[in-house]
Structure 1
Amino acid sequence: MLKFKTLLTPIALSIALVVAVPALAKKDRDHNHNGLRQILSQLSLTDAQKQDIKEILKQSRQDARLFKEDSERFRSNIQTLVQSNEWDQIAIESALAQSQSVQTDKMLQRATQKNLVWNALTTEQKTMFSSLVAEKKAEIKSKESNKKGKHKREGGMFKKLALTDEQKTAVKSIREQARATDKDLRAKLKEFKEAERALITSDDFSSENWLTLSVEYQSDFVAMSVSKANVRHNVWNILTSEQQQKITERIEKMQDCKKHCKKHKKQRTV
């Protein structure tokens, strides 16, 4: 058995970032786990491999809970800054820099999990795994492209918030300006993901080597987070008080739903 140690439409997207980052993060996390399980199910794993990987994923979930309280606290502080009337660059940079320390721990935990799963596979399975991952990414990219078009046709959040044409134009301008400004940052973060992927699937993976790689991009991580927060802040401040209230109510509703769903899930497992 394997042994191991314990050791994140353009306009509609802007509105969504204001509405509920926690929900998006959870959705992304669940999607990644489900995608991984789907790929692993196609590799003809032995019973021993299945048990090893089951233990890896179980430990990963337990480790992730260690970051929950700090993540929620930072998220709440950042949301308060984002929804203020004035943009406080120093305060937001400080809050996001502190948050980044927790994000680094979470990213290392996920990278470690991926490396452990990778090393549980045979050479043939690794080759097939890489091929299936590439196919999955292409499939997701295609679905996201179609989904953006669908949201654009249906109006998405605009129908719920009843944005004026002037507001829509303002949000579009905010997004386009950020996209142009962040072009180099996005390239740097893509570079990090590729380097991380290569490290995870190499014989040189270790927490020390991963942290060395991560340090090179820390300023880029924070800069991108600041940019996203600035977009959210600017979008928030073009909304009317009534529209802001609708968003606040939706956040509260989603948080209540999250607690209720979690409680219901526990009851079902009893």
Structure 2
Amino acid sequence: MKKLILALSIILLNVSLGFAQNEKVVLCTDYDKTTGQPIGINKDWDIKKTGSYVYIVYSQDRAINESLTLQVDKKNAAGNFVFYARESFYNNISDKKKWAMYDYKFTSDGDYRVSVLGKNNVTLAKTMANIAYMSDEGTSNPSAITNSDYYASSTVAFGESVENAKLVGEASTFKLVNGSKHLVCLITNDSAFKTKSVTLYVYTGANYKEKAYQETFTVGDLDWDWIKVPVDATKVGKYVVDIYNDKDTFINSGYFEITR
């Protein structure tokens, strides 16, 4: 009987501590606003001299039922991690989501440890990150655009065609005709894209986990601040198009739906 009680106690302890929930925290360039699925996960980041924002996304297997705290520790000259900052995650318990996000601004280079804390400051998950500065002359060199913050003002939209940098027939829902639909995607940015090409990753299916295709298109000039590229769909469903530059830096995402 004592062995049984001990075993049950261990199981209850594990549950109370949140074990076996597959807790995970990552740094990423973007995330799906519905599912919390991170996009462009990385541990090495280039930031501007003035600082840059990076999404921090935490996820687990079941609904989050507690307020979460983000703790950031930074490695000092002695090689030890010391407290750097603490923030509250943007999570509302009543939403019953399995994920939470914080848009954190890094303002100095170095090695960081990012931790997610739950009730009683119990550590649920943690990860490491290395932050480096982007060179001041980087924006004039296409090979230096390695941080998505450069494209923070970008937009993505879909339509039937593009005339004089304007979409014709702009919409988010289109009808399938004879088993296919040809669209034009217009990508704009407040500054020149500074890229020799863009790569489109097109996904569909449940939670956009089914990869439809990917394709790379040459950009005619480094100084272009708008780009049009074709997008094709061959079946009914919701689609997301993730767009990256020639250095595999995330630019933006666009969504559309195909109906009958």
Same fold (TM over 0.5): no
Q: Which has the higher contact order (CA 8 A, sep 6+)?
A: 1
More strand by share: 2
Q: Which has the larger radius of gyration?
A: 2
Q: Shorter-normalised TM-score: what interval?
A: under 0.3
More helix by share: 1
